[in-house]
Amino acid sequence: MPAPTRLSVAKQVVRDVVVLATLMSKRHGVEAPDDSRRTRHIVFSGLIAVAALGILTLGLPASAVPASAADVTRRISPLELAQEIASGDAKVYVVDLRDAATCAHAHIQGAVCLPADDADAHFIADLAPTRTLVLYGTSDDVNVPASVTQYGAGVRLLSGGYQAFEAQILREPQPPTAATPEALASYRTRAALHGYFTGSVAPAAPVVARPTAVVHRRARRGGGC
């Protein structure tokens, strides 16, 4: 028996939809569309289009998987990446695309350096597609390897590359000059991440002194006990 074509499958889906619509209309007391060709075409043309589109797009690749290296445009900030790594939930693979010597000298904690015998990062295609793949270079100017098209999950670029991560996470954060609740919360987050990645302790956040109410007592007038 020949394998069914997409068109034949689409027609069968449409026939099934028509039958289902008729049964549902009878069940709920709604008048079913008449059998005229014109009326059936008007009523079910939308269903036909949707069903056919669903069949034809079944084989399309997931949008999260890049079709080419140039398609990798989605970014992750240094703060977001640092939080993902520090969470310990193993949600990301991090690959350093700089040369092996530079990566060996200094790289993001948990990042994989390019092997000396695999400068084109072919190993990426062999990674289990269970995490988001994060790539970074020195800055935003990074050559994405073609092997990312063979990785079966999402791919992100680190905004600003290693330079931005170093400036925002590895460099000691300075306490805010304006000690607003938002500024203090942001500082504490960055200080905690700085400590996680460097093992050092950032300066303590400034203490916000809350004004205390002064009670003025009125002096009593007159004598008496």
Predicted TM-score (pTM) of this structure? 0.62
Q: Is the pLDDT of residue 64 over 70?
A: no
* C-alpha closest to that of 69 among 125, 144, 133: 144
* Contact indicator for 173, 190 with CB cutoff of 8 Å: yes
What residue ranges do the domains of the chain occupy? 6-56, 69-169, 172-205
pLDDT at residue 34 greater than cutoff 80: no
Which 3 state secondary structure label does DSSP give 125?
Answer: helix
- Is the distance from CB of 10 to CB of 4 less than 8 angstroms? no
R_g of the chain computed on alpha carbons: 31
pLDDT at residue 93 is higher than 80: yes
pLDDT at position 216: 60
Considering the segment(s) 69-169 as one domain, its CATH architecture is: 3-Layer(aba) Sandwich (3.40)
Task: Please list, residue by residue across 81-105, b when 16 or more beta carbons sit within 10 angstroms of its beta carbon and e when fewer do.
Answer: bbebbbeeeeebbbbbbbeeeebee
How large a percentage of the chain has pLDDT more than 70? 60
pLDDT of 4 above 90 = no
- Supply the pLDDT for residue 44: 45
Outline where DSSP puts E strands in the chain.
Answer: 75-76, 92-96, 112-113, 132-136, 155-158
What is the pLDDT, as a whole number, of residue 187? 93
Confidence of residue 200 (pLDDT cuts 50, 70, 90): confident
Residues 52 and 15 sit within 8 Å (Cβ to Cβ):
no
- Average pLDDT of every residue of the chain: 76
Mean pLDDT of 86-107: 94
| pLDDT score at 219 | 62
Mean pLDDT of 78-90: 93
Region 33-61 average pLDDT? 44
Q: Which of 100, 129, 130, 127 is nearest to 115 (CA)?
A: 100
Tell me what percent of the chain is helix, strand and coil, each rounded to the nearest 5. Answer: 45, 10, 50
3-state secondary structure 79-93: HHHHHHHHHCCCCEE
Q: What are phi and psi of 71, to 5 degrees?
A: -80, -10
Secondary structure of residue 112 in the 3-state scheme: strand
What's the CA gap between 81 and 96, in Å, rounded? 13
Residue-wise pLDDT tens digits, 117-173: 998 999 999 999 999 999 999 999 999 999 999 999 999 999 999 999 999 999 999
Mean pLDDT of 30-39: 51
